[in-house]
Structure 1
Amino acid sequence: MEKEEQVYRILQLYDRFRKGEIINKLKMADLLDVNERTIQRDIQSLRTHLERSLTGQSIIYSRANRGYLLTGEKEGLSSKELLTITKILLESRALNTNEMKDMIASLLAQSSKADNKLIRSIVGNDLLHYRPLQHNQSLLDMMWDIAASIQTKKFIDIVYERIDKQQKRRVVKPVSILFSEYYFYLIAFIKDSEHATPAIFRMDRIRSFKQLNERFSISEKTRVEEGMLRQRIQFMYSGKLDRLQFIFRGVTIDPVLDRFPNGRILKTLDDGWLIETETYGTTGCMMWLLSQGEKVEVISPKEFREQMKEMIQTMVNLYHEK
């Protein structure tokens, strides 16, 4: 009986360590109705096992936290992490109802019964009233298969339905899958295209795809560019690579640098900041810059500054009295 109780305590300790908890001997002793020396022996037994099993994990004492914690390679997600991921998933509305419910159920299966109940009480109303996007497409299988094509560097043949409902067949070199503003996107280079910039396909509009046996190669320069794609694409609009400069006169510069991760401050002004950023195309940038109202003034390129002026004038004309 005593041996069974020891096994139970050690398993509970490891489960708590694995979830990222800090174990205080006194509090744990009170919780399990044993003395501190017993908890100390249990922690030492668990520490010895981890050292012998070569898991890369170890248990250390933290003076700052006044307790023991697990370090090294982490297994599983803590309940705090599960709650955070669940809330982000529900807010994204990126999956249809069945895929969303299945994914959340899989996530919460990693938590204890008590934590599972707590998380469900927090997100239950969100899940009950969950409304997927209008396309309501299943995406997980397709994303997994296309991700495999990216990994093996194989061309894929896709049938893509444009916003005007016309369908086009394309053979493309898939290089990345991104998520932005509710949707998943495939970033790919169209085979034999004269354009050096990538094309962007909303994944729920891919009606069919087939992996081809033909492989593609990626130069070192292209590989570096791939890492910059997410920073240079705004609202999933493509185009030629442009370098923009604009003045931002907001209270804080944070919203600008969050929106343009590759943006940099060229100069701090008395009433704002001069910002430079690189982006594929200007359509997506224009949408965000216009949303900032009088806080933004585009400086260059000159053609884009003129486009902004024309768009603002068009907007003003909408409010002229009839």
Structure 2
Amino acid sequence: MPKGSNQKFKLYRLAQIMLDKTDDEHYITMPEIMKALAEYEVTADRKSIYNDLRDLEKLGIEVEGEPVGKGYHYHVVSRPFELPELKLLVDAIQSSKFITERKTNELIGKLEKLVSRYDAMKLQRQVYVSGRIKTMNESIYYTVDAIHNAISENKKIRFQYYQWNVKKEMELRHGGAWYHISPWGLSWDDENYYLVGYDSVAGLIKHYRVDKMLHIQMSEEDREGREYFKKLDMADYAKKSFGMFNGKEQNVKLLVANYLAGVIIDRFGNDVMMIPKDDEYFTVNVQVHVSRQFLGWIISLGEGVKIISPDEVVEQMKEEIKRLQRQYTILKI
């Protein structure tokens, strides 16, 4: 039998058809396969299609045929990603504040192409689970890429940094001054992306919201601060920094009610040492950057947690409580 038309596209189109139209719950028959190929102006006989279905496995697309009546129906039984895995990725993208709304939809659209049209509808429903506030900085993807490139080439970066003013306008910080930083890593905290780097002028490790960085450029200068980052555990750094706000790093002892044990473990990890004090309370020593955000976290836990030491931090908490009392006593709107 002579070969059909457009044979060089046949295997590609067959893969498209099987991936798009079939899954564990949806099947396609041989006549339907031939009809779908014809829509792409590809003609083929049954025997060659049987061979092609077997060849798809070499491309990582496993197709299974099952007898139904006098014929067979076929479907894809394995894919690079399972539907539950893609749902997790969709949820992560949707809940990430540093990804813009437009880019969120683009990324999810690409993920939908990894499953059948039927499962893609299930992913699309996931998109609207959460109405998160999104960044408006479309250049964040290029910023992240530039940071990774600088890290791999051991170079500093230069960028400007902005904040929002009361008119909802982007306003460059420090009058538009350029920041010159040695990038050492990226951290994800409170659904935001942060650059963690070394400021050689200040002699400090600092972090910056990636979506607030503008006009990033790779410097010709080599990175500095290696000795600091050799001793730095990036995950531990994020754990100690509440909301990624800086503060003096200190060992703080807390008295905590037993019912808040889960809160402590969630924040500081399963290896944190909790020493029972009595039947209702335990003490725990945690290494944190003591900032107003840390004190606010303690306050938010109510009477179930109390700072025991050091005295310096206890006094900071007392001053913060006095400040709040003054603010809500004097403030009149």
Residues 232 and 278 in structure 1, CA contact (< 8 A), matched pair in contact too: yes
Provide the C-alpha distance between the structure 2 equivalents of 1:295 and 1:279, rounded to a whole number of angstroms. 19
Residues 83 and 119 in structure 1, CA contact (< 8 A), matched pair in contact too: yes
Provide the C-alpha distance between the structure 2 equivalents of 1:260 and 1:149, rounded to a whole number of angstroms. 31
Aligned residue for 1:245, secondary structure, equals strand
Identify if the C-alpha distance between structure 1 residues 156 and 281 changes in structure 2 by more than 3 Å, giving closer, same or farther: farther
Query: Residue deviations 1:155-191, cap 9 Å, x none?
Result: 1112223567433322111111112223221111112
Matches within 5 A, 1:28-177: 32-33=66-67, 76-120=80-124, 122-126=125-129, 131-133=133-135, 135-162=136-163, 165=171, 166-167=173-174, 168-177=177-186
Query: Residue deviations 1:259-299, cap 9 Å, x none?
Result: 22387224123212211111234333212111101111001
Q: RMSD of aligned C-alpha atoms? A: 3.5
Residues 182 and 224 in structure 2, CA contact (< 8 A), matched pair in contact too: no
State the shift of 1:212 in Å. Answer: 1.0
Asked if 1:199 is matched to 2:206, the reply is: yes
Identify if the C-alpha distance between structure 1 residues 169 and 89 changes in structure 2 by more than 3 Å, giving closer, same or farther: same
Residues 175 and 226 in structure 1, CA contact (< 8 A), matched pair in contact too: no
When structure 1 is superposed on structure 2, of 262-271 and 293-302 the one drifting more is 262-271
Identify if the C-alpha distance between structure 1 residues 318 and 156 changes in structure 2 by more than 3 Å, giving closer, same or farther: closer
Given the alignment, which residue of 34, 43, 49 partners 1:4? 49
Structure having the higher Rg: 2
Matches within 5 A, 1:208-219: 208-216=215-223, 219=226
Matches within 5 A, 1:7-26: 7-8=52-53, 11=56, 15=61
Residues 183 and 223 in structure 2, CA contact (< 8 A), matched pair in contact too: no
Residues 248 and 295 in structure 1, CA contact (< 8 A), matched pair in contact too: yes
Query: Residue deviations 1:195-235, cap 9 Å, x none?
Result: 4xx11211222222211122226646632314332232221
Q: Which amino acid aligns with 1:100?
A: T
Provide the C-alpha distance between the structure 1 equivalents of 2:311 and 2:62, rounded to a whole number of angstroms. 59
Match of 2:34 in 1: none
Match of 1:225 in 2: 232
Q: Across the two proteins, how many residue pairs are aligned to each other?
A: 271
Provide the C-alpha distance between the structure 2 equivalents of 1:250 and 1:200, rounded to a whole number of angstroms. 34
Identify if the C-alpha distance between structure 1 residues 137 and 2 changes in structure 2 by more than 3 Å, giving closer, same or farther: closer
Provide the C-alpha distance between the structure 2 equivalents of 1:261 and 1:317, rounded to a whole number of angstroms. 36
Structure 2: unaligned runs, 5 residues or longer? 1-45, 166-170
Provide the C-alpha distance between the structure 2 equivalents of 1:124 and 1:205, rounded to a whole number of angstroms. 25
Query: Residue deviations 1:89-135, cap 9 Å, x none?
Result: 21233211221111111222222222112222x225348x66524x4
Q: Which amino acid aligns with 1:125?
A: Y
TM-score normalised by the chain length of structure 1: 0.71
Q: Which amino acid aligns with 2:50?
A: E
When structure 1 is superposed on structure 2, of 102-111 and 159-168 the one drifting more is 159-168
Aligned residue for 1:186, secondary structure, equals strand
Residues 265 and 276 in structure 1, CA contact (< 8 A), matched pair in contact too: yes
Residues 198 and 225 in structure 2, CA contact (< 8 A), matched pair in contact too: no
State the shift of 1:148 in Å. Answer: 1.5
Provide the C-alpha distance between the structure 2 equivalents of 1:108 and 1:149, rounded to a whole number of angstroms. 32
